[in-house]
Chains A and B, each alone.
Chain A
Amino acid sequence: MDNQLEKVFKNFSARHDLKSEVFLQSKIMTQIMASQAKQVKLRAVASRIVGALSFIALFPIIINLFSQLQSSGFWNYFSLLFTDTGTVAIYWKELALSLVEALPIFGITLATFLLLALFVSLKFININHLSNKLEVNKKYEFKF
C-alpha cells in the first residue's frame, strides 16, 4: 500500500512541480546578492561612523589620560626607575604597587577600546574588501 500511496503523491507532486527551476534559482540568487550588497554597504557606513567617532574621541581621551598620569604622580614614580636605581632595587615591590595605583585604569581602558574600534573600522573601510565582495557576487552569475 505504501508504494501505491507513494505513487499517488508522486503523481500529485509531478502535476504541480516547479515550472521554472532556473527562474526561481536566479530570483533567490538575485535576492541574496541584493542582501549581501546591502550588508556590505551598511557595514561600510557603520564602519565610517564608528571610525570617525572613535578618531574624534581619541584626542580628548589621550589628553585627559596624560593629565591624569601627571596628577596621580605616575611620572614621578616612573622617573625614579631611571634616577635612583639603588632605592628602586631595595623597594621595588612598594614602587611597583605605587606605579599600579597611580595608573588611571579607566582612562587607559577607554583609550584602548577607542583605538581598537578605530582599527576594526579601518579594516572594514578598506576599499579592497568592498570590491572583493562585489567580485564574489559576479561569480554567481556564471554558475547556474
Chain B
Amino acid sequence: MDNLDYEKMTDGELVTDYLAGQEEILPIIINRHLKPVYRFVFGLVLDESVAEDITQDVFIKVWKKIKSYNQEYNFKTWIFSIARNTVIDYWRKKKDIIFSKFDNAEGDNIILDTLADNSPDAYEAFAIAEEITDLKDILQELPPLYREVLVLRYISDLSIEEISVILKRPIETVKSQHRRGLMHLKELLLRKQEDK
C-alpha cells in the first residue's frame, strides 16, 4: 500500500492494521499527530526544546501502549491524554507548578463563573492580543488549569466534549474552566495594555 492510501484511512483503521502486523504504518500514525501534539505540548510548557523532548516521549509512550488502546475511544483524545500526562510528569519533576492549581478544579468563584465573556472589554482585550507580538508571556501567567483548556480549545481545535475526555473532567466543569480561563486571559491582556 502506498502512503497516499494510508492518508485516506482513519486513525482506527491505521491502528487496526498496525496491530495486525503492518509495522510500516507507525510512521504514518506519528506523522499525522506529530504537529498537533507538539502544538498542544508547547502551549503548556511554552518552551520549544522542552516541547520537542516531551513530544518525543509522548510518541514513545504511544508506541509502548498502543496494544492497550481501546478502539471504542477516539485515538486523538487518547494521544492527547498521554501528552497531557507526560507534561504533568515533566512539571512534577521540575516542581515549578503548584499542583493545587490542578486539584482545585472545582474551586468556586461565583463572580467569575457568572460573568459573561462577551462584554466590550473582552473584544477589546482580544483585539489587543492580536497586536501583541508574543502571547507566550501572557500564557505563562495564566494558571495551567485554564491554560490547558484554552490551548486544547483554540490551538488543538478540540470540542468541549473532547477536552472533557482528555482532562477527565465533567463537561460542565470544562465549560466553567473555559469561561474562567477567558476571564483570566482578558484580565492579563488588559493589564498588559495598561503596562504599555
Contact = CB atoms under 8 A, between A and B. Distances in A.
> Do the two chains bind?
yes
Interface of A: 1, 4-13, 15-19, 21, 24-25, 27-29, 31-32, 35, 136, 139-140, 143-144
A28 B60 contact: yes
B80 interface: no
Contacts, number: 97
Contacts of A10: 154-155
Given A18-B38, A21-B34, A27 B3 contact: no
Ranked 10 nearest A-B pairs via Cβ: A9-B154, A12-B135, A8-B129, A28-B59, A136-B23, A143-B27, A4-B126, A139-B24, A18-B38, A13-B155
Contact of B35 (A9, A18, A29): A18
A143 B118 contact: no
A32 B61 CA distance: 10
Interface stretch (B48-56, B69-77, B97-105): B48-56
Contacts of A18: 34-35, 38-39, 52
A12 B134 contact: yes
The dominant DSSP class at the A interface is helix
Contact of A7 (B28, B118, B130, B151): B130
B63 interface: yes
Interface in B98-129: 117-118, 122-123, 126-127, 129
Interface in B113-162: 117-118, 122-123, 126-127, 129-130, 134-136, 139, 150-151, 154-155
B26 A8 contact: no
A26 B56 CA distance: 10
B31 interface: yes
